[in-house]
Chains A and B, each alone.
Chain A
Amino acid sequence: MNAAQLAALSPIGALAIGAVAAMMLAPLARAELVRAAAALSLALAAGLVLLRAGASPAPIGTLYMDDGPARFGIVYASLSSLAALVFLRGGSAKEAPSLLVLAALGAATLAAAGHAATLFLGIEIISLSLIALFAFLLSRPGLEASYKFLVMSGLATAALLLGVALIYAETGALAFAGWSGHGALFALGTALLLAGLAFKFSLAPFHMWTPDAFEGAPAGAAALAGVVSKGAVAVAILRLNATAQLPEPLWSSGLAALGAASILVGNLLALRQPALPRMLGYSTIAHSGYIAVLLAAASPRADEAVLFYLAIYAPALIGALCASALLGKAPTLPDLHGLVRRRPLEAAALSLALLSLAGLPAAGGFIAKLYLFRVLVETGGWTLLGVVAAGSGLGFYYYARFFTAPFIGVGAVEADPLPLGDRALLMLCAALIVLFGVAPGLVIDIVTPALSLR
C-alpha cells in the first residue's frame, strides 16, 4: 500500500479512531468531551477528503474505491452526521456520539465500496449502530422502532447476503466489476440484492420501519437513517450502475418500480399524519422514491441529479428534524400553531425546510425537482413523470399544512432558551436551502466534478 492509498484511506481511519476514542472516553470523561471527540473525527474525515479534492484516485483493489462519488459520499456522510450530532441528545448513556460516528464510518465504507465485502460491511455497520441509536432513549416508541428495525434489518441482510451468494455462484466474482451474465441465478441474486438495498433506502414495500423510527427514535438518529445511510446507499447504487452489468431490465425497471411505489405510498400515507416527525418519515419514503427513479435512469445526467438531490435534501430534512427536536417529543400540527410568535427562528427555518421538501421555488427543492423533471423528460419516462407529478401534488397538500401552521393562530406560550448549537445549525440549514435555491449553479459546480472521476 503506497502513500496515496494511505491518504485515500485516511478518512475511514479518522472515523474509526474517532468512534473508538468516543467509546473509550464515554465512561471516563464528561459528555461534552465525548461529543467533542466525535465531532472532531467527523470534521477531520470530511477535511481529509476535501484536502485531496484534486488528487487522482488511489483505489485499494476493488475493496475501496476513491472516485468522485466515493469522496462525495464520505464528505456527505461526515458532515450530515456532524449536523445530526448537534441535536442528538437525551438518554443517560454517553455512548451515543460513538455510535453516531460508527454509523458515519459505515456510510463512508458503503460509499467507497466496489466489492460485495465492503458493501455488506458498510450496510451492517450502519444497521447495527442505528439499532442501538433508535433505542437510545429507552422510551417505548424508541424500543419499538429499534425492535422493528432489528427484525426487518436481519431479514434484509439475509436477503442481501443470499443475493450476493447467488451472484457469486453465477459470476464467480465479488467485485462489482466482475458481475455480468445472463443466468437465472444471477437474476434471482440481483432481485435479492435489490431488496436488501431497498430496505436500507426505505423504498416501498420495504419501508415499514421508517415512520416508527422517525417518531420514536431521537431526531438525530432519524437524521442518520434519513440522510446519512440513504446517501451512502444511493452512492453504492450509482457505482453498481456504473461498474456492474446487472441483468436488465430487472435491475433498472425494478428500481423504477420500487421508486414509483415509494412515491405513491409515502405521499399517500403522509397525507393525514398529524405528527411532524411521522410525516417526515413518510415524506422521506417518497423522497427515496424520487431518488430511486433517478437512479433507475442511470444516465450521466441522472447521476449528477442524484448527487444534487442528496445535497439539497440533507439541509432540508436535517433542518426540519432539528426544529422538530427543539419542540419536544413528536410535535403535532396544533403544537406548531403560533410558533412564529414564540420562536420566530425555528418557525422560519422549519417552514423553509418544508418548502424545500415540497419543491417550491426560492428553496433548493425546486431545483432538485427541475433536475428530476429534466432527467425524466430526457429519458422519456412519461409514466414516471406522471407519478412524480401526482406525488408532488399530494406533497403540496401535507407540506402546506405544516409550513403554514407556525403562522396560524396562537399556541401555548413557552420560551425555552435556544441551545446555541441548534440555533447555528438551523441558520446554516436555512442559508444552504436558500443558497441552493437562488444560486444552484454553485452546487452544480461542486457536484459535477464529483462525477468526472468516474
Chain B
Amino acid sequence: MALIALLLLPVIGGVIAFVVAGRHEAERWVTIATFALMLVVLVAIVVGAPDARWYARFDYPWVPSFGISINLAIDGLSAALVGIAAVLGIICVTASWQEIRSDSGLFHACLCWTVGATVGVFISFDLLIFAFFWEAMLIPSFTLIAIWGHGDKEGAALKFLIFNAVAGFGLLASAFALAALADHMTFNAFELAQMKFSTPVQVWMLLGFSLAFMVKLSVPPFHAWLPEAHTLAPTAGSILLAGVLLKTGAYGLFRFGPMLFPDGLTAVAPYGIALGAVGALYGGLVACGQNDAKRLVAYTSIAHMCIILMGISAGVHYALAGAAVEMIAHSFSASALFLLIGALYERTHSRDLRQLGGLQQYAPRFAAAFSLFCAALLALPGTANFAGEALVVVGLFQVTWIFALAALSTLVVSVIYATRLLKGLVFGEARLDAAVHDLTLREYGAVLVLAAGTLTVGLYPQSLIGLLEPAIRAALAPQLP
C-alpha cells in the first residue's frame, strides 16, 4: 500500500497545488510538502524492509482479461531513483521561485505529475503499467516546456513529445508481442522473466523496447529532441529532464534488458557498446563547440547517457555497477549545473560563454558551486561521476580493451568542455557591466544538497553501491528470481 501512496501523493498534491494557487505562494509550499511526504514514505519503506531483494511489493489485477495487473515493487535501485526524483522535485520548486510567475498553479501541478509518472516508471513491474507511466510522463513534461519555456518552446515541446511518443509505440508493441508469445497472456515482468524465448525473438523484442529507451536516453541518432528541449525548457524543466526523465531510459534498459532478454542482450551487446562509444564521442565533441552554456550541458548529457549505455551493454559486474552509479551521479551534477545556469540566466539574461565570465569576482558561492560541478562533469576523482565512469571503464576493459579505450577518450573530451564551461563563466575576465548577485540562500541550499550527494558518493561510493548491489546482481544473473 505504501507504494500506492507513493504514486497517489504526487497526483493529489498536483491537484491541490492547482486549486490553491495564487495565495501566499501556497502552491509552492504544497508541492514541497508533497515531495517531502513522498520522501518520508520512501524512507519508511526502505527502513521497514522485510527482505533484502525487495523492500515492498504490491499486486492488484487491473484489467484481468488482458493479464494486466498493477504490479509494483521497489528495491535499492528504484528507491534511489525515486528518492532523487522527489529531491529534485523540491529543488525544482526552489529553482522556479522567481522564474515562474504566470499560471503557477498549473506549473506546480505539472511538476508533481511529471515526478509522479516517473516514480510509476521506476516501480512498475507490469510491462503495460510501465508503458502507461512511460507515456503519462510525457504530457506534464510537454506542458512544462510548451508553456513556460523560452524561444521556440512549442516547437521544442512538440519535438520532444513526438519523438518520445512514437518511440513509446515500440515499447507497447513489443510488450504485446511478448505477452502474446508467452505461455499465457501476461505482462508481469517477473512471470515473463521465467519464460524462455528464443534468441531471435529476444533480439526483436529488445530492439522494440530499446527504441523507447534509446530515445529517452537520447543516444545518437535518436537524440535530436534533446538539445532543444533542454535548452528551451524552464530551469525546472531542464532539471527534471536531465535528472529524472533521462534516467527512465537508463533504468528501463538496466532493469528489463537483462531481466527479460538475457540472450538478446548478449547478442546485441557489441553493437550497443559501439553505439554508446560513437554517441559519447559525438555528444562530447558537439558539446565542446557550444557557446550556450545550457546547450553545452545538454550535449554532455548525451555523452554521459552513452557511457551508461556502454556499461549496461558490457554486462559485467563492474560495468553494470558503474552504469547504475553513473545514473545517480549524473542526476546530481547535471541538475546542479542546470540550476546554476538557470540562476545565472535570471540575473544576466545570457548564457553565452562569450559574453559572460569572471563571475568569481562577484559571486563566490556561485563560482565555488559551479567549479565543483564542472569537476564532476569531467569526472574528477572524489566526485560521484568518477566512481561511475571509472567502474564502467574497468568493466569495459574486462570485455574488450578497444571499447574501454573509446570510453577513456570521451573522458579526455570531457576535460575540454568542462574547462571551457568553467573558463567561459567563472574565470577569465569579467565582461559584464553590472555586478551579478550571488546565489540566494534558497538556491545555495538546493545546490548544497546536490553537492553533498555528489561528494558523499564520490568519496565513499560503497554507500550507494551497497544500496544498488541487489539490483546489479539481479541484472548480472537474470535467471535468479
Interface residues of A (CB under 8 A from B): 340, 355, 360-362, 366-367, 369-370, 373-374, 377-378, 385, 389, 392-393, 396-397, 400-401, 404, 407-408, 440-441, 444, 448
Q: Is the interface of B mostly helix, strand, loop or mixed?
A: helix
Q: Is the CB of B172 within 8 A of A370?
A: yes
Stretch in contact with the other chain, from B30-38, B62-70, B340-348, B376-384: B62-70
Going nearest first, the 9 A-B pairs with the smallest beta carbon separation are: A393-B166, A389-B169, A377-B176, A361-B136, A396-B165, A361-B132, A373-B176, A361-B135, A377-B180
Residue B106 lies at the interface, judged by CB distance under 8 Å to chain A: yes
Distance, CA A392 to CA B166, complexed state (A): 8
Q: Is the CB of B173 within 8 A of A373?
A: yes
Q: Which of B66, B128, B146, B165 contacts A393 (CB 8 A)?
A: B165
Distance, CA A369 to CA B133, complexed state (A): 15
Stretch in contact with the other chain, from B137-145, B189-197, B275-283, B289-297: B137-145
B157 / chain A contacts, CB cutoff of 8 Å: 400, 404
Q: Is the CB of A400 within 8 A of B132?
A: no
Expressed in whole angstroms, the minimum distance between the Cβ of A156 and any Cβ of chain B is: 34
30 contacts between A and B (CB under 8 A): A355-B139, A360-B135, A360-B138, A360-B165, A361-B133, A361-B136, A362-B136, A370-B128, A374-B66, A385-B173, A389-B173, A392-B165, A393-B165, A393-B169, A396-B165, A396-B166, A397-B161, A400-B142, A400-B161, A404-B142, A404-B146, A404-B157, A407-B143, A407-B147, A408-B146, A408-B147, A441-B61, A441-B62, A441-B64, A444-B63
- B50-64 interface bits toward A, Cβ cutoff 8 Å, 1 = contact, 0 = none: 000000000001111
**Closest chain A residue to B67, Cβ basis:** A374
Expressed in whole angstroms, the minimum distance between the Cβ of A431 and any Cβ of chain B is: 15
* With A370-B66, A377-B177: A400-B136 Cβ-Cβ less than 8 Å: no
**Closest chain A residue to B170, Cβ basis:** A389
Q: Is the CB of A441 within 8 A of B63?
A: yes
Q: Which of A340, A377, A404 contacts B173 (CB 8 A)?
A: A377
Expressed in whole angstroms, the minimum distance between the Cβ of A371 and any Cβ of chain B is: 8
Residue B429 lies at the interface, judged by CB distance under 8 Å to chain A: no
Q: Is the CB of A400 within 8 A of B158?
A: yes
Expressed in whole angstroms, the minimum distance between the Cβ of A348 and any Cβ of chain B is: 10
Expressed in whole angstroms, the minimum distance between the Cβ of A444 and any Cβ of chain B is: 6
Expressed in whole angstroms, the minimum distance between the Cβ of B445 and any Cβ of chain A is: 31
Q: Is the CB of A389 within 8 A of B143?
A: no
Expressed in whole angstroms, the minimum distance between the Cβ of B478 and any Cβ of chain A is: 24
Q: Is the CB of A389 within 8 A of B166?
A: yes
Residue B162 lies at the interface, judged by CB distance under 8 Å to chain A: yes
Residue B103 lies at the interface, judged by CB distance under 8 Å to chain A: yes
Distance, CA A311 to CA B450, complexed state (A): 49
- B118-143 interface bits toward A, Cβ cutoff 8 Å, 1 = contact, 0 = none: 00000000001000110110110011
Distance, CA A407 to CA B161, complexed state (A): 17
**Closest chain B residue to A304, Cβ basis:** B65
Known pairs A377-B176, A441-B63, A448-B65 / 7 extra A-B pairs, C-beta < 8 Å: A361-B136, A377-B180, A385-B173, A396-B161, A397-B158, A401-B158, A404-B157
Q: Is the CB of A407 within 8 A of B133?
A: no
Expressed in whole angstroms, the minimum distance between the Cβ of B389 and any Cβ of chain A is: 35
B169 / chain A contacts, CB cutoff of 8 Å: 389, 392-393
What is the total of A-B residue contacts with beta carbons within 8 Å?
A: 77
B62 / chain A contacts, CB cutoff of 8 Å: 440-441
A374 / chain B contacts, CB cutoff of 8 Å: 66, 176, 180
Q: Is the CB of B103 within 8 A of A407?
A: yes
**Closest chain A residue to B146, Cβ basis:** A404
Distance, CA A299 to CA B162, complexed state (A): 32
A448 / chain B contacts, CB cutoff of 8 Å: 65
Q: Which of B135, B142, B177 contacts A366 (CB 8 A)?
A: B135
**Closest chain B residue to A403, Cβ basis:** B139
Expressed in whole angstroms, the minimum distance between the Cβ of B19 and any Cβ of chain A is: 11
Distance, CA A296 to CA B128, complexed state (A): 25
**Closest chain A residue to B138, Cβ basis:** A360
Q: Is the interface of A mostly helix, strand, loop or mixed?
A: helix
A362 / chain B contacts, CB cutoff of 8 Å: 136
B172 / chain A contacts, CB cutoff of 8 Å: 369-370, 373
Interface residues of B (CB under 8 A from A): 61-66, 103, 106, 128, 132-133, 135-136, 138-139, 142-143, 146-147, 154, 157-158, 161-162, 165-166, 169, 172-173, 176-177, 180
A378 / chain B contacts, CB cutoff of 8 Å: 180
Q: Is the CB of B136 within 8 A of A397?
A: no
B135 / chain A contacts, CB cutoff of 8 Å: 360-361, 366
Expressed in whole angstroms, the minimum distance between the Cβ of B141 and any Cβ of chain A is: 12
A393 / chain B contacts, CB cutoff of 8 Å: 162, 165-166, 169
Expressed in whole angstroms, the minimum distance between the Cβ of A366 and any Cβ of chain B is: 7
Expressed in whole angstroms, the minimum distance between the Cβ of B6 and any Cβ of chain A is: 17
Expressed in whole angstroms, the minimum distance between the Cβ of A338 and any Cβ of chain B is: 10
A361 / chain B contacts, CB cutoff of 8 Å: 132-133, 135-136
A385 / chain B contacts, CB cutoff of 8 Å: 173
B61 / chain A contacts, CB cutoff of 8 Å: 441
Distance, CA A355 to CA B139, complexed state (A): 9
**Closest chain A residue to B110, Cβ basis:** A407
Expressed in whole angstroms, the minimum distance between the Cβ of A132 and any Cβ of chain B is: 40
**Closest chain A residue to B153, Cβ basis:** A408
Expressed in whole angstroms, the minimum distance between the Cβ of B178 and any Cβ of chain A is: 9
**Closest chain A residue to B142, Cβ basis:** A400
Q: Is the CB of A397 within 8 A of B162?
A: yes
A366 / chain B contacts, CB cutoff of 8 Å: 132, 135
**Closest chain A residue to B128, Cβ basis:** A370
A396 / chain B contacts, CB cutoff of 8 Å: 161-162, 165-166
Expressed in whole angstroms, the minimum distance between the Cβ of B449 and any Cβ of chain A is: 31
B177 / chain A contacts, CB cutoff of 8 Å: 377
A400 / chain B contacts, CB cutoff of 8 Å: 142, 157-158, 161
B162 / chain A contacts, CB cutoff of 8 Å: 393, 396-397
Distance, CA A126 to CA B136, complexed state (A): 39
Distance, CA A58 to CA B336, complexed state (A): 71
B165 / chain A contacts, CB cutoff of 8 Å: 360, 392-393, 396
A392 / chain B contacts, CB cutoff of 8 Å: 165-166, 169
Distance, CA A274 to CA B269, complexed state (A): 46
Expressed in whole angstroms, the minimum distance between the Cβ of B215 and any Cβ of chain A is: 12
Q: Is the CB of A360 within 8 A of B106?
A: no
Q: Is the CB of A360 within 8 A of B139?
A: yes
B106 / chain A contacts, CB cutoff of 8 Å: 340, 407
By CB atoms of chain B within 10 A, which of A340, A393, A448 has the most?
Answer: A393
**Closest chain B residue to A369, Cβ basis:** B172
A369 / chain B contacts, CB cutoff of 8 Å: 172
Distance, CA A202 to CA B180, complexed state (A): 32
Expressed in whole angstroms, the minimum distance between the Cβ of A364 and any Cβ of chain B is: 12
**Closest chain A residue to B185, Cβ basis:** A374
**Closest chain A residue to B120, Cβ basis:** A361
Distance, CA A366 to CA B62, complexed state (A): 14
Expressed in whole angstroms, the minimum distance between the Cβ of B154 and any Cβ of chain A is: 8
Distance, CA A374 to CA B64, complexed state (A): 14
Expressed in whole angstroms, the minimum distance between the Cβ of A9 and any Cβ of chain B is: 33
A360 / chain B contacts, CB cutoff of 8 Å: 135-136, 138-139, 165
Distance, CA A367 to CA B132, complexed state (A): 10
Distance, CA A407 to CA B132, complexed state (A): 24
Distance, CA A440 to CA B157, complexed state (A): 30
Distance, CA A366 to CA B176, complexed state (A): 14
B147 / chain A contacts, CB cutoff of 8 Å: 404, 407-408
B136 / chain A contacts, CB cutoff of 8 Å: 360-362
Distance, CA A441 to CA B60, complexed state (A): 12
Distance, CA A408 to CA B176, complexed state (A): 36
Expressed in whole angstroms, the minimum distance between the Cβ of B36 and any Cβ of chain A is: 25
Distance, CA A397 to CA B146, complexed state (A): 13
Expressed in whole angstroms, the minimum distance between the Cβ of B114 and any Cβ of chain A is: 13
A373 / chain B contacts, CB cutoff of 8 Å: 172-173, 176
